[in-house]
Amino acid sequence: MDASALPMPSGTFTIGKTFNFEAGHRLPGLPPEHKCSRQHGHSYEVEVILTAPELEEPGFVTDFGALAPFKMYLDTELDHHNLHEVLPFEPTSERLARFLATWFIHNVQPTISGRLVAVRVRETARSWARFDVKAQ
Protein backbone atom coordinates (compact mmCIF):
# COMPACT_ATOMS: atom_id res chain seq x y z
CA MET A 1 0.00 0.00 0.00
CA ASP A 2 1.31 3.45 -0.94
CA ALA A 3 1.29 5.48 2.31
CA SER A 4 1.35 8.79 0.40
CA ALA A 5 -2.09 8.00 -0.99
CA LEU A 6 -3.70 7.57 2.43
CA PRO A 7 -5.84 10.47 3.71
CA MET A 8 -4.35 12.02 6.85
CA PRO A 9 -6.63 12.33 9.87
CA SER A 10 -7.15 15.76 11.38
CA GLY A 11 -5.91 16.38 14.90
CA THR A 12 -3.19 18.03 16.93
CA PHE A 13 0.40 17.14 17.67
CA THR A 14 1.68 16.89 21.24
CA ILE A 15 5.22 16.64 22.61
CA GLY A 16 6.74 16.54 26.06
CA LYS A 17 10.16 17.30 27.49
CA THR A 18 11.36 16.34 30.95
CA PHE A 19 13.77 18.34 33.10
CA ASN A 20 15.28 17.58 36.51
CA PHE A 21 16.45 19.54 39.51
CA GLU A 22 17.27 18.85 43.14
CA ALA A 23 15.78 21.00 45.87
CA GLY A 24 14.71 21.06 49.47
CA HIS A 25 11.58 22.45 51.00
CA ARG A 26 9.26 22.25 53.93
CA LEU A 27 5.58 22.97 54.24
CA PRO A 28 5.20 25.08 57.38
CA GLY A 29 1.43 25.27 56.92
CA LEU A 30 1.16 21.63 57.96
CA PRO A 31 0.92 20.50 61.59
CA PRO A 32 4.35 20.06 63.23
CA GLU A 33 3.89 16.29 63.47
CA HIS A 34 3.42 15.97 59.68
CA LYS A 35 6.66 14.76 58.08
CA CYS A 36 6.45 17.34 55.28
CA SER A 37 6.46 20.22 57.77
CA ARG A 38 10.13 19.39 58.38
CA GLN A 39 12.92 20.23 55.96
CA HIS A 40 13.35 17.51 53.32
CA GLY A 41 14.37 17.23 49.69
CA HIS A 42 13.31 15.80 46.36
CA SER A 43 14.82 14.93 43.01
CA TYR A 44 12.18 16.86 41.10
CA GLU A 45 11.17 15.92 37.58
CA VAL A 46 9.33 18.59 35.61
CA GLU A 47 7.62 17.79 32.33
CA VAL A 48 6.32 20.43 29.94
CA ILE A 49 3.69 19.30 27.44
CA LEU A 50 3.19 21.32 24.26
CA THR A 51 0.75 21.11 21.39
CA ALA A 52 0.27 22.57 17.91
CA PRO A 53 -2.32 22.03 15.17
CA GLU A 54 0.38 22.12 12.49
CA LEU A 55 4.10 21.35 12.43
CA GLU A 56 6.87 23.85 11.83
CA GLU A 57 9.63 22.78 9.44
CA PRO A 58 11.31 20.37 9.50
CA GLY A 59 8.33 18.73 11.25
CA PHE A 60 8.34 19.93 14.86
CA VAL A 61 5.73 21.14 17.31
CA THR A 62 8.69 23.00 18.81
CA ASP A 63 12.39 22.29 18.53
CA PHE A 64 13.37 20.77 21.89
CA GLY A 65 16.48 22.98 21.82
CA ALA A 66 14.24 26.06 22.01
CA LEU A 67 13.24 24.97 25.54
CA ALA A 68 16.77 25.63 26.85
CA PRO A 69 15.75 28.86 28.67
CA PHE A 70 13.39 26.81 30.86
CA LYS A 71 16.20 24.40 31.73
CA MET A 72 18.47 27.35 32.52
CA TYR A 73 15.82 28.84 34.82
CA LEU A 74 15.43 25.56 36.72
CA ASP A 75 19.21 25.17 37.01
CA THR A 76 19.95 28.71 38.19
CA GLU A 77 16.90 29.56 40.30
CA LEU A 78 15.65 26.28 41.78
CA ASP A 79 18.34 23.59 41.62
CA HIS A 80 19.97 22.99 45.02
CA HIS A 81 17.88 25.70 46.68
CA ASN A 82 15.40 25.64 49.52
CA LEU A 83 12.18 26.28 47.62
CA HIS A 84 10.42 27.87 50.56
CA GLU A 85 13.18 30.50 50.58
CA VAL A 86 13.11 31.35 46.84
CA LEU A 87 9.43 31.05 45.92
CA PRO A 88 6.67 33.47 46.98
CA PHE A 89 4.33 30.67 48.12
CA GLU A 90 4.26 27.46 50.13
CA PRO A 91 5.99 25.12 47.65
CA THR A 92 3.61 22.22 47.15
CA SER A 93 3.98 20.36 43.86
CA GLU A 94 0.61 21.71 42.72
CA ARG A 95 1.64 25.33 43.24
CA LEU A 96 5.07 24.68 41.77
CA ALA A 97 3.46 23.26 38.61
CA ARG A 98 1.27 26.37 38.19
CA PHE A 99 4.21 28.69 38.92
CA LEU A 100 6.41 26.94 36.34
CA ALA A 101 3.59 27.08 33.78
CA THR A 102 3.32 30.82 34.38
CA TRP A 103 7.07 31.30 34.00
CA PHE A 104 7.10 29.22 30.81
CA ILE A 105 4.16 31.11 29.26
CA HIS A 106 5.81 34.48 29.88
CA ASN A 107 9.41 33.60 29.08
CA VAL A 108 9.48 30.75 26.57
CA GLN A 109 6.12 30.46 24.83
CA PRO A 110 6.40 33.82 22.98
CA THR A 111 9.53 32.50 21.22
CA ILE A 112 8.25 29.08 20.12
CA SER A 113 5.56 27.70 17.83
CA GLY A 114 3.98 25.24 20.28
CA ARG A 115 1.46 26.11 23.01
CA LEU A 116 1.91 24.92 26.58
CA VAL A 117 -0.78 22.42 27.55
CA ALA A 118 0.43 21.34 30.99
CA VAL A 119 3.29 21.16 33.46
CA ARG A 120 3.75 18.07 35.58
CA VAL A 121 5.94 18.11 38.69
CA ARG A 122 7.04 14.77 40.08
CA GLU A 123 8.46 14.65 43.62
CA THR A 124 8.95 10.89 43.76
CA ALA A 125 8.56 7.92 41.44
CA ARG A 126 4.98 7.52 42.65
CA SER A 127 3.71 11.05 43.27
CA TRP A 128 3.16 14.00 40.95
CA ALA A 129 0.99 17.05 40.39
CA ARG A 130 -0.09 18.49 37.06
CA PHE A 131 -1.32 21.97 36.13
CA ASP A 132 -3.32 22.14 32.89
CA VAL A 133 -3.32 25.45 31.06
CA LYS A 134 -6.68 26.58 29.69
CA ALA A 135 -6.61 27.11 25.93
CA GLN A 136 -6.99 30.77 25.01
For the entire predicted model, the pTM comes to: 0.92
Q: What share of the chain is helix, strand, coil (3-state, %, to 5)?
A: 30, 35, 35
**Catalytic annotation, pick one of 34, 40, 56, 80:** 80
Residue among 67, 135, 78 nearest 107 (CA) = 67
80 counts as catalytic = yes
Task: Domain ranges for the chain, please list them.
Answer: 12-132
**Catalytic annotation, pick one of 36, 42, 45, 90:** 36
Instruction: Specify the pLDDT at position 3.
Output: 74
Write out the chain's pLDDT in tens, 136 residues.
677 788 888 899 999 999 999 999 988 889 999 998 898 999 999 999 999 999 999 999 999 999 999 999 999 999 999 998 999 999 999 999 999 999 999 999 999 999 999 999 999 999 999 999 997 6
CA 114/CA 128 separation, integer angstroms: 24
85 counts as catalytic = no
Pick the CATH number of 12-132 from 3.40.640.10, 3.40.50.300, 3.30.479.10, 3.20.20.70: 3.30.479.10
How far apart, in Å, are the Cα atoms of 105 and each of 54, 57, 121, 122, 133?
A: 19, 22, 16, 20, 10
34 counts as catalytic = no
